Structure 1
C-alpha cells in the first residue's frame, strides 16, 4: 500500500523557494547531471521593471547555453500564467509546492555576434532625404539654395518664437479676459447699426419710427407698476439728495417736470425707472445676478435687461454677464429712443452722454446713426432759469437725416 503524503505550499517571494524549469531549443539533454547551471539576477532591485530580470546559464563539455526571462528570446508564458512544481520529500513524505519559472535555453556559439543591432535612424521624410542628397552630391548652386532655405526657416522659427513670447507677455500683463474685451470692442466699432432699435423709416409719424413697444415691451411695462409708483412718490428733498449724490441728470430732469396726476404721470414714472436701470447698467462691467434688485427692479425686467444688453462669457467654469463696448452703445441707443418718447421726440444728448459715461462724440455718432436731427441752440435764444442752455439736442424729424461718412481716406489720397 502506498504511503500517504501531504502538501506544503512554500513562499513565492524569495528566489530560493522558486523552482526553475529549462527547455533546450536544439534538442533533449540526455545527461542533465553533467550540466553546470548558474543563475544571474539584475543588480537594480529597486526598479520594479528590472528587479525580476534573470539570466540562466548552463555549461557542458561541448557547448554553453543561455536563457533569460526578458527580451525577445524570453517565453511570454511567464507573463500570462503562473507555474508550480511539486517536489516530494521522501523522508517526511510531504509534497512541497514551489513556484516555477520557465527558461528557453539557446546554444551560445563562440565567435557569433551577440550584440543587438544598432537602432535605426528615425524615419526621414522625402524632403529630408532629398536635402541629404543635395548636401552630399549637389552642385554649388543647389547647396547655396539649400543653405538659404534653411536660414529662412531658422529666421521664421525665431520670429514665431519671439511673437509667441510677446503674446504670452501681453496675456500675462493684461489678462486674457481684458484682451478678449478689447477685441470685442474693436469689432463693435463697425457694427453700430446692428445694435440700434428696430426702425421704420417709412412711418407716417415720428412716434412710429422707433416704436415704444420695441423699447419697453408691454409685459415689462406692466411689471414696472410698483417700481414706477415708488419713483413717482419721491419728494423734492429726496430728489435733491439724489442730485447731491451724483444721480442721473436725465432721470432727475423728468422727475422734476413730471405731471402731477393722470396716466401721463404713471407712464413717465415707469419709463423713468426703466431709464435709470439702463443708465445704471451702462456703468457696470461685470454684472452679477443681484443687479437692480436692491433698487426694486422686478425679476422679469432684470432678466430682460441681462439678456438684451449683456454678453455671456465663461470664466473658471462660471457664466458671467459683461457689458462690452457694443452693448454700451446699444444701451445708449435704446436710452435715446426712450427719451424721445418721454420728451415729445426731443432728447438732450449732453445730459445723456454724461449719465452713460461715454464721450459726446460717441453719443453724437449714435444719434446720427439713428437718423436724428442735431440741434444746438444759438447764444441768447435758449434760457432756462436765467441761465444759458448750451447743451446739444437731438430731434426725430421726418424724413430721417442720412449723414455722409467722413471721407478721410480720400483727403489723404489727394494730399499725396
Structure 2
C-alpha cells in the first residue's frame, strides 16, 4: 500500500525571507550546472518599506542576470498572488511547503562605456549605426559587402585627394586665367555635342542649320507614309486629336495653318510628324531598340532616333538605350531647329518648353547656345508673355553665363 502524501506548511525558510523563484527574459533554464545564485537583502531593517527589498543575482560563464522585488522592474504579481515552493521527502511522502517570491531575471550589461564614448555613439548617423550592427551580428555576406563599400569609400577619398592635388599643380603652373580659358573652351566643345551642326559662315538662314543635317533623303522619304494623315487633315480631325492629347501643342497649332501648296503641305506634315516623335522620345527613360516609337514608325526613323538621341548604358544585367539629361538637351536643340524651319526661322519657345516639360531657363540656355535672338511677345490670347527665338544674320555671339562658371570653379 502506497504511503499517503502529507503537506506540512513551514512558512518562510528563514525569518523575514521567502524562497526565490526565477524566470528568465531570454529563455528557459535547461540546466543549473555552472550557475551561481546570490541573494542580497536590504540592510535598512528599521524602514518597513525597505526591509523586504531583495536583489537576486545569477552568474553564468557568458552573462550575468539580475532581478529585484522593488522598483519599476519588479513584478506586480508578487503583491497580488502568493507563491509556494514544496520540498518532497520521498521516504516519508511528506512535503514541506515554504513561502516563495517570483523574480524576473534580466541580462546585466556592464556599463563600462565612458560618457564621451556614449555621446559619440549618439552623434553617429543611422548608416554608421547600422554598420556597427553588421560588424557585431551580421552574416558573412553582409560583412563582405560592408568591407567592400568601405574600401570603395577609401578609394574615392584617395582619388579625390589626387584630383585636388593635380588641379592645384595645374593652377600653379598655368595660372588661373589660363585654366578658366581652357575650361570655357571645353564647355563650348561639350555644348557642340548636343547641338545640331551650325554653319556660322552661311549667307542664308536656310544654311545655318541645314535641313539635310536633320534628315537624309532616305529618311525624309520614309516619313511620307506616317505623315500622310496630316496632309489633308480637317478641322474636326484636329479637334479630335486635341481631345485625345496624343500629340504636342506645337504640332496641333501648326496643323491649323497648313500651306495651300500641296508640296509644301506634304513637307510641313513630314517635319511636324518627326518633331512630334522627338517630343515623345524625350519623355521616355529606357528606349527599346525595336519599335522605339511604336509599329507606325518606319524602321529607318526608329533606328535614327535610337542611334542619335539615346545613350548606351549597362543596367539590370544588360545593355540599355537611355534618354539621359544630355540626350534630352540634344532632343530639345533639334526640336528648336526643326521648328525654325517650319516657322520661317522664328518659333515660340514657350510652347516648345511646355511640350517638352522643361524649365524656362533650360530651353532659353539651349536657344542662346544655338545663337538665337530671344524676344518677348504676347500670346494669341494676350494674357501672358511668350519667349520667341529668332534666327538672324549675323549670328549673335554666345557667352557662357558667368554665374555658372563661378559655381563650377568652386
TM-score (norm 2): 0.51
Q: Name 1:228's counterpart in structure 2.
A: 227
Structure 1 or 2, whichever has the larger Rg, is 1
Per the TM alignment, residue 235 of structure 1 is displaced from its structure 2 partner at its CA by 3.1
Root-mean-square deviation (Å): 2.9
Aligned to 1:240: 239
- Secondary structure in 2 aligned to 1:331? helix
Equivalents in 1 of 2:205, 2:241: separation in Å?
33
Question: What residue in structure 2 maps to residue 395 of structure 1?
Answer: 390
Distance 1:166 1:236 in 2: 65
The residue number in structure 1 matching 2:21 is none
SS of 2:319's equivalent in the other structure is: strand
> CA separation of 1:164/1:201 partners in 2, compared to 1, >3 Å: closer, same or farther?
same
Shift in Å, 1:214: 0.2
The 5 Å alignment of 1:108-123 reads none
| Residue 272 (str. 1) matches residue 272 (str. 2) | yes
How far is the alpha carbon of 1:389 from its aligned partner? 5.7
Alignment correspondent of 2:203: 204
1:2-28 residue CA offsets vs partner (Å, 9 max, x unmatched): xxxxxxxxxxxxxxxxxxxxxxxxxxx
Pairwise CA distance, 1:254: 1.2
Counterpart in the other structure of 1:339: 339
8 Å CA contact 2:291–2:297 kept in 1: the answer is no
State the alpha-carbon separation in 2 of the partners of residues 324 and 271 from structure 1: 24
Does the 8 A contact of 2:379 with 2:386 survive in 1? no
Confirm or deny: 8 A CA contact 2:194 2:329 kept in the other structure: yes
Q: SS where residue 265 of structure 1 aligns?
A: helix
What stretches of structure 2 of length at least 5 have no aligned partner? Answer: 1-145, 154-185
Secondary structure class of the residue paired with 1:312: strand
Aligned 1:362-401 pairs, distance under 5 A: 362-377=362-377, 382=378, 384=380, 387-388=382-383, 390-401=385-396
Aligned 1:99-110 pairs, distance under 5 A: none
Alpha-carbon spacing, 1:242–1:408, altered in 2? closer, same or farther (3 Å): same
Matched, 1:405 2:400: yes
1:84-233 mapped onto 2 (5 Å cutoff): 164-165=149-150, 191-233=190-232
Specify every segment of 5 or more residues in structure 1 that has no aligned partner in the other structure, as ranges. 1-160, 169-186
| Number of residue pairs matched by the alignment | 229
- Gap change, CA 1:411 and 1:217, over 3 Å in 2: closer
Find the aligned partners of 1:333 and 1:259 in 2 and give their Cα distance.
Answer: 25
The offset of 1:405, in angstroms, is: 2.8
Q: How many angstroms does 1:302 deviate by?
A: 0.6
Query: Aligned-pair distance for 1:221?
Result: 0.5
Q: CA deviation at 1:192?
A: 2.5
Change over 3 Å in CA distance of 1:307–1:188 after alignment to 2: farther
**Contact 1:199 1:209 (C-alpha < 8 Å) held by counterparts:** yes
Q: Distance in 1 between matches of 2:341 and 2:383?
A: 25
Runs of 4+ with >6 A deviation? 187-190, 409-412
The residue that corresponds to 1:32 in the other structure is none
**Cα distance 1:164–1:314, how it changes in 2: closer, same or farther (>3 A)?**
closer
Q: 1:231 deviation in Å?
A: 2.4
1:250 deviation in Å?
Answer: 0.8
